[in-house]
Amino acid sequence: MLVTVVIGSGIAAEQLSPGNTGLQLLQNSTATVLGLAVLILVFGPASGAHFNPVVTTVDWWFGRRTGGLPLPHVGLYAIAQILGAIAGAVLANLMYDLAAVDISGHDRATAPVLLAEVVATAGLIVLIFALARTGRASLSAAAVGAYIGAAYWFTSSTSFANPAVTIGRIFSDTFAGIAPASVAPFIAAQIVGALIGAALVVALYPDVEAAAENVVVPHEETTFAEIKTAV
């Protein structure tokens, strides 16, 4: 749904404001801010609103000694995140009567843009884990939405800051798309940004490990055994 919001609003912006890139970006960013906040509220209690593989990985790293997210779950989350992102792109295309899969030709991987992705991802990591550590994870929906909305404008990359979303955006040759050749550099920049962000979090909050279970939103974990019993 996150990728559907990002791509769908991008397609709408292209159709409603042809030739006006600034207005298109405003429309796209506004929908993304609101959609992301709502999705965090909806899915947070179930999964923690882990929409982002680098956030999930950093969360595992911080909580690995305190009973946080198990490493096998990181892989399962990443699979779900990537498949969900691809499905979201297909859904957005179909809603606008486009080809279900249309590989993007939008090359983005220039040095300034990759630097922007490092900055965007580092800032996102710092925000999420600072909120968790200071007992304000309940504000994540508003705060993360606001940060991504701002980063649409202050970064030259328009703040993808998410490897799964980056992969999903390959599949729509529209305003929000990204060419396959740009994906690996983008993800590399996001990983670097996540490492920098994690280092900053540790510097600011040395005991951040204690808050790992509250990222992005505190939630109840359902085990596979519980699922099997329920079925």
**CATH (one of 1.10.486.10, 1.10.3980.10, 2.60.40.420, 1.20.1080.10) for 2-212:** 1.20.1080.10
For residue 47, what pLDDT is reported? 87
Query: Tell me, what's the pLDDT at 69?
Result: 84
> Radius of gyration of the chain from Cα atoms?
17
The full set of domain ranges for the chain reads: 2-212
In contact, 127 and 119? CB cutoff 8 Å: no
What is the pLDDT, as a whole number, of residue 224?
40
The whole-number pLDDT of residue 225 equals 47
Which residues contact residue 100 at a Cβ distance below 8 angstroms, ignoring those fewer than 6 apart? 90, 93, 94
- Residue 220 confidence (pLDDT): 64
Q: What is the pLDDT of residue 66?
A: 81
Residues of the chain below pLDDT 70:
220-231
As a whole number of angstroms, the distance between CA 103 and CA 107 comes to 12
Is residue 149 within 8 A of residue 31, CB to CB? The reply is no
**Residue 118 · residue 195 · CB < 8 Å:** no
Residue 65: its pLDDT value, please? Answer: 80
